[in-house]
Amino acid sequence: MPKLLVTGSSGLIGSEVALYFHQVGWAIDGIDNNQRAVFFGPQGDTRWNQHRLAAAIPGFVHHELDIRDRAKVLELVKAVRPDAIVHTAAQPSHDRAAAIPFDDFDTNAVGTLNLLEAVRRACPEAPFVHMSTNKVYGDAPNLLALAELPTRWDYADPAYAHGIAETFTIDQSKHSLFGASKVAADVMVQEYGRYFNLPTCCLRGGCLTGPNHSGVELHGFLSYLVKCNLEDREYKVFGYKGKQVRDNIHSLDVARFMHAFVEAPRSGEVYNLGGGKANSCSILEAFKLTEKFSGKAQIYTYLDQNRAGDHICYYSDLRKMRAHYPKWDITKSLETTIGEIVAAWRKRLVTD
Ligand SMILES: NC(=O)c1ccc[n+]([C@@H]2O[C@H](COP(=O)([O-])OP(=O)(O)OC[C@H]3O[C@@H](n4cnc5c(N)ncnc54)[C@H](O)[C@@H]3O)[C@@H](O)[C@H]2O)c1
pLDDT band at 93 (very low <50, low <70, confident <90, very high): confident
In short, whether 112's Cβ falls inside 6 Å of ligand 1 is no
The stretch 145-171 carries a mean pLDDT of 98
Ligand 1, pocket-test mutation among 53, 131, 132, 270, most atoms within 8 A of CB: 131
Residue 63's Cβ-count burial label (10 Å; 0-12, 13-18, 19+) is middle
Three-state DSSP class for residue 285? helix
| pTM over cut 0.75 | yes
Which atom of ligand 1 lies nearest, measured to the CA of 92?
43
Question: So what's the pLDDT on residue 211?
Answer: 87
Ligand 1, pocket-test mutation among 5, 15, 36, most atoms within 8 A of CB: 36
In short, whether 180's Cβ falls inside 6 Å of ligand 1 is no
Check pLDDT > 90 for residue 58.
Answer: yes
Element housing 200 (H / E): strand 200-205
Question: So what's the pLDDT on residue 43?
Answer: 83
Helix, strand, coil shares of the chain as percentages rounded to 5?
A: 45, 20, 35
Considering only CA atoms, which residue is closest to atom 11 of ligand 1? 88
The stretch 82-111 carries a mean pLDDT of 95
Percent of the chain clearing pLDDT 90 (strictly above): 90
In short, whether 88's Cβ falls inside 6 Å of ligand 1 is yes
Ligand 1, pocket-test mutation among 104, 133, 246, most atoms within 8 A of CB: 133
Distance, CA 13 to ligand 1 centroid (Å)? 7
The tens digit of pLDDT for each residue in 303-338 reads 999 987 789 999 999 999 999 999 999 999 999 999
In short, whether 163's Cβ falls inside 6 Å of ligand 1 is no
Which atom of ligand 1 lies nearest, measured to the CA of 10?
39
Beta strands in 8-152 (DSSP E): 27-31, 61-63, 84-87, 128-133, 146-148
Question: So what's the pLDDT on residue 94?
Answer: 83
Check pLDDT > 70 for residue 294.
Answer: yes
Question: So what's the pLDDT on residue 22?
Answer: 98
Tell me the torsion sign for CA atoms 208, 211, 216, 221. Answer: positive
Question: So what's the pLDDT on residue 121?
Answer: 98
pLDDT band at 40 (very low <50, low <70, confident <90, very high): confident
Distance, CA 205 to ligand 1 centroid (Å)? 11
Check pLDDT > 70 for residue 69.
Answer: yes
Check pLDDT > 70 for residue 351.
Answer: no
Residues 6+ positions from 350 with CB-CB distance below 8 Å = none
Distance, CA 148 to ligand 1 centroid (Å)? 33
Question: So what's the pLDDT on residue 204?
Answer: 98
The stretch 33-39 carries a mean pLDDT of 93
Check pLDDT > 90 for residue 219.
Answer: no
pLDDT band at 341 (very low <50, low <70, confident <90, very high): very high
Check pLDDT > 80 for residue 352.
Answer: no
Considering only CA atoms, which residue is closest to atom 17 of ligand 1? 11
Ligand 1, pocket-test mutation among 38, 103, 130, 208, most atoms within 8 A of CB: 208
With beta carbons less than 8 A apart as the criterion, state whether 292 and 337 touch.
no
3-class secondary structure for 151-190?
CCEEECCHHHCCCECCCCCCCCCCCHHHHHHHHHHHHHHH
Check pLDDT > 80 for residue 80.
Answer: yes
Residue 165's Cβ-count burial label (10 Å; 0-12, 13-18, 19+) is middle
In short, whether 133's Cβ falls inside 6 Å of ligand 1 is yes
pLDDT band at 177 (very low <50, low <70, confident <90, very high): very high
Tally: H helices and E strands in the chain? 13, 14
pLDDT band at 212 (very low <50, low <70, confident <90, very high): confident
With beta carbons less than 8 A apart as the criterion, state whether 215 and 222 touch.
yes
Distance, CA 149 to ligand 1 centroid (Å)? 33
The tens digit of pLDDT for each residue in 262-293 reads 999 999 999 999 999 999 999 999 999 999 99
Percent of the chain clearing pLDDT 70 (strictly above): 99
Which atom of ligand 1 lies nearest, measured to the CA of 130?
41
Considering only CA atoms, which residue is closest to atom 9 of ligand 1? 131
Angstrom distances, CA of residue 87 to CA of 32, 115, 229, 235? 11, 8, 32, 31
In short, whether 279's Cβ falls inside 6 Å of ligand 1 is no
